[in-house]
Chains A and B, each alone.
Chain A
Amino acid sequence: MNDNIVSQVLKHPKYQELVRRRTRVSMMFFVATLIIYSGFILTMAYLPEVFAQPLGETWTMSVGLLVGLLVVCSAVLMIALYVWFSNKVFDPLLDAVLRDVQ
């Protein structure tokens, strides 16, 4: 790949839009991941009594176990959402850039 193509791509408005939006979206998703995950770990480490409570009078299952299951689901859902974004938004932008420079 030569410098000519690089500078051509860098100047392409669709490329700039792609990088800007993709960086923003992936950072948003990353921060959301960090919040959910660190929230879970910190609660577990410093407020274990919250997780130790049973769900209700007649339940054995604890709050922590249910939260754990939901956290597992959230990870898969976030990835699915990101893939959906990529397919709908980023791939068309990328295609436009590739059409123009190649």
Chain B
Amino acid sequence: MKKSLLGAALLALMSQSAFAADGHGANTEAIVMFLLFIAGTFVITWWAARKTQTTSDFYTAGGGISGFQNGLAIAGDYISAASFLGIAGMVYVSGYYGVIYAIGFLFGWPVVMFLVAERLRNLGRFNFADVTAFRLGQKKMRILAASASLTIIALYLIAQMVGAGKLIVLLFGIEYKIAVVIIGALMMIYVFFGGMTATTWVQIIKAVLMLFGGTLLAVLVLAAFNFSPDAMLAEAVNVHPYADKLMSPGEAVTSNPLNALSLGLALAFGTAGLPHILMRFFTVSSAQEARKSVIWASSFIGYFYVLTFIIGFGAIALLVRHPEFFNVGPDGSFNMIKDLIGGTNMAAVHLSNAVGGSLLLGFLAAVTFATIVAVVAGLALAGAAAIAHDLYANVIAEGRATEEKEMRISKISTLALGVLSILLGIVFENQNVAFMVGLAFAIAASANFPVLVLSISWRGCTTRGATIGGFTGLIVATVWVLLSKTVWVDVFGFAEAIVPFPNPGILSIPLAFAAIWFFSITDKSAEAQKERDAFDALTVRSQTGIGRSGAVDH
């Protein structure tokens, strides 16, 4: 079955590209690079599939990844569609505004490091629900964690599917819907056969290639301006419709400072609540290795964001010289923002073609695409863990499920999530990918983050408080997003949004903390007292790692 699926996907790609050969977007060298790369990732998946035996291998690669490797894998998860395509695209459209996203995404890491990383590794085995369920009520915590995780994963999936879909359309000239289906299928192959081991290794290798490709692209861009960043910026300001407003926070921020604040909060606290990122801390063997992962991950991510700024501003300065990248009007004129082929998310991809030719284009497109597929696979794994490990094994079967049964359920969940991601990718076709990821962060920061932090650092936290608080954050944030322009107007087609701005964090995060606090201190039950007493055992284990079983079962 594996071979036939694999063959079908490759065949689909090749036949589609042949058909696209006479349309724009087809590019033989780029396509060859691209297919070689995808084939390479299949080899990794095949290799990993032979090593994936237990649920522990499947979810957390058996806990055998080193801190440095894990740092690269996390960086790979991070510098994907959202960061590379989305932030470069945002800089391309509005200049400085893209910077707020980059800095917000990065500042999640100090928060993760100083508040949760090491303790998380000491407490949990598979995912972050293990941590909150350490002393609080199993069932309720797992239901909360699974609901929040699945919502976050759905939003995050949209961003990745749109990014990868657009990339395939651009490269092969095929229809967007078909592209999204191909990505969904590839993702299911990675997860189905390779599990966490495969996605981690694919992610590590691609992180290295991505850092290399990004560096090369940035150097080539700067070389076009004799290595003077300021000359590049001067040219960007010269040609962009915003002119010197490119260099300042701009309309998007000043017209609604509360939205900017809200976004800033969500980005900084969201990382510590993202299920697929937290899951990566269980692939390392100890808290020390978890700590090393964070330093490596944040260094690579920080470095890569600096590259992204250069790439974004470089795209403004250089792309206008290439009318072939735009849908040119009959009079030969084009709008550099509205008429970019494939939309502004593709600015970085066009730039690679402009400065490095089709080889660099093929290389970067392949690396970006494969990264996205691996991120999608990682998300699907986190989703599968939420369904199979939290909902099925611990809530429905109450811990009596066999390993084979859990594994089967998680594979079925993967399939369902793959189909869901395809549908979502089609519905949200034209959203900026960095923006969609911002919303996923908002929900992670409102539902998971408060529960996680308070359950490990506040003795008074009880199951009742954590459940009500967590759901408050989740529901307020989700409803807010549904009522905002992004969904209410852009998807449902209503004339006006009900909430004033799209980012919910400024309301939902404090509300979740307040609800946890209030419903915990008013909880006088005997259960609550027991949970408070269990705080000592939790603290000892989270500080020292004593009693931890490791990521491996035995």
Q: A residues engaging B (CB < 8 A)?
A: 1, 3, 5-7, 9-10, 15, 18-19, 22, 26-27, 29-30, 33, 37-38, 40-42, 44-46, 48-49, 51-52, 54, 59-62, 64-65, 68-69, 71-73, 75-76, 78-80, 82-83, 86, 91, 94, 97-98, 101-102
A10-B536, A26-B114, A30-B111 are known contacts. Are A72 and B103 too (CB-CB below 8 A)?
yes
Cβ contacts under 8 Å, A91 to chain B:
288
Partner of B96, one of A19, A51, A78: A51
Going nearest first, the 4 A-B pairs with the smallest beta carbon separation are A1-B547, A52-B248, A45-B257, A62-B247
Q: A62 CA to B305 CA in the complex, in Å?
A: 18
A48-B253, A48-B254 are known contacts. Are A10 and B260 too (CB-CB below 8 A)?
no
CB atoms of A9 and B99 under 8 A apart: no
B521 contacts partner chain A, Cβ-Cβ < 8 Å: no
CB atoms of A80 and B96 under 8 A apart: no
CB atoms of A10 and B540 under 8 A apart: yes
B522 contacts partner chain A, Cβ-Cβ < 8 Å: no
List, sorted by A's number, 8 A–B pairs whose CB atoms are closer than 8 Å.
A1-B540, A3-B537, A42-B261, A44-B100, A54-B247, A61-B230, A69-B309, A86-B291
Q: A51 CA to B95 CA in the complex, in Å?
A: 13
CB atoms of B261 and A98 under 8 A apart: no
Measured between C-beta atoms, what is the minimum distance from A51 to chain B in Å?
6
Q: A97 CA to B540 CA in the complex, in Å?
A: 11
A1-B541, A69-B306 are known contacts. Are A75 and B247 too (CB-CB below 8 A)?
no
CB atoms of B99 and A68 under 8 A apart: yes
Partner of A75, one of B100, B107, B254, B257: B107
Chain A residue with Cβ nearest B111: A33
Q: Which of B204-239 contact A (CB under 8 A)?
A: 229-230, 233-234, 237
Chain A residue with Cβ nearest B268: A37
CB atoms of A29 and B114 under 8 A apart: yes
CB atoms of A1 and B302 under 8 A apart: no
Q: A35 CA to B533 CA in the complex, in Å?
A: 34
B64 contacts partner chain A, Cβ-Cβ < 8 Å: no
CB atoms of B544 and A79 under 8 A apart: no
Cβ contacts under 8 Å, A3 to chain B:
537
CB atoms of A44 and B306 under 8 A apart: no
Cβ contacts under 8 Å, B114 to chain A:
26-27, 29-30, 33, 82
Cβ contacts under 8 Å, B460 to chain A:
none
Cβ contacts under 8 Å, A40 to chain B:
103
Cβ contacts under 8 Å, B245 to chain A:
52
Q: Which of B254-269 contact A (CB under 8 A)?
A: 254, 257-258, 260-261, 264, 268
Q: A38 CA to B261 CA in the complex, in Å?
A: 9
B299 contacts partner chain A, Cβ-Cβ < 8 Å: yes
B102 contacts partner chain A, Cβ-Cβ < 8 Å: yes
CB atoms of A61 and B229 under 8 A apart: yes
Count: A-B pairs, CB below 8 Å: 152
A10-B536, A51-B248, A78-B110 are known contacts. Are A60 and B234 too (CB-CB below 8 A)?
yes
A22-B543, A102-B546 are known contacts. Are A64 and B249 too (CB-CB below 8 A)?
yes
Q: A86 CA to B248 CA in the complex, in Å?
A: 39
Q: A27 CA to B453 CA in the complex, in Å?
A: 13
CB atoms of B292 and A72 under 8 A apart: no
Cβ contacts under 8 Å, B543 to chain A:
15, 18-19, 22, 94
Cβ contacts under 8 Å, B264 to chain A:
37-38, 41
Partner of B544, one of A9, A30, A61: A9
A19-B539, A45-B261 are known contacts. Are A94 and B544 too (CB-CB below 8 A)?
yes
Cβ contacts under 8 Å, B254 to chain A:
45, 48
Measured between C-beta atoms, what is the minimum distance from B444 to chain A in Å?
17
Q: Which of B282-303 contact A (CB under 8 A)?
A: 288, 291-292, 294-295, 298-299, 302
Q: A3 CA to B115 CA in the complex, in Å?
A: 26
CB atoms of A83 and B291 under 8 A apart: yes
Cβ contacts under 8 Å, B540 to chain A:
1, 5-6, 9-10, 15
Chain A residue with Cβ nearest B108: A75
Cβ contacts under 8 Å, B302 to chain A:
72-73, 75-76
Q: Which of A61, A73, A80 has the most CB of B within 10 A?
A: A61
B65 contacts partner chain A, Cβ-Cβ < 8 Å: no
Cβ contacts under 8 Å, A27 to chain B:
114
CB atoms of A83 and B292 under 8 A apart: yes
A10-B536, A69-B306 are known contacts. Are A44 and B547 too (CB-CB below 8 A)?
no
B517 contacts partner chain A, Cβ-Cβ < 8 Å: no
CB atoms of A65 and B99 under 8 A apart: yes
B106 contacts partner chain A, Cβ-Cβ < 8 Å: yes
CB atoms of B544 and A75 under 8 A apart: no
B9 contacts partner chain A, Cβ-Cβ < 8 Å: no
Measured between C-beta atoms, what is the minimum distance from B304 to chain A in Å?
10
Cβ contacts under 8 Å, A52 to chain B:
245, 247-249
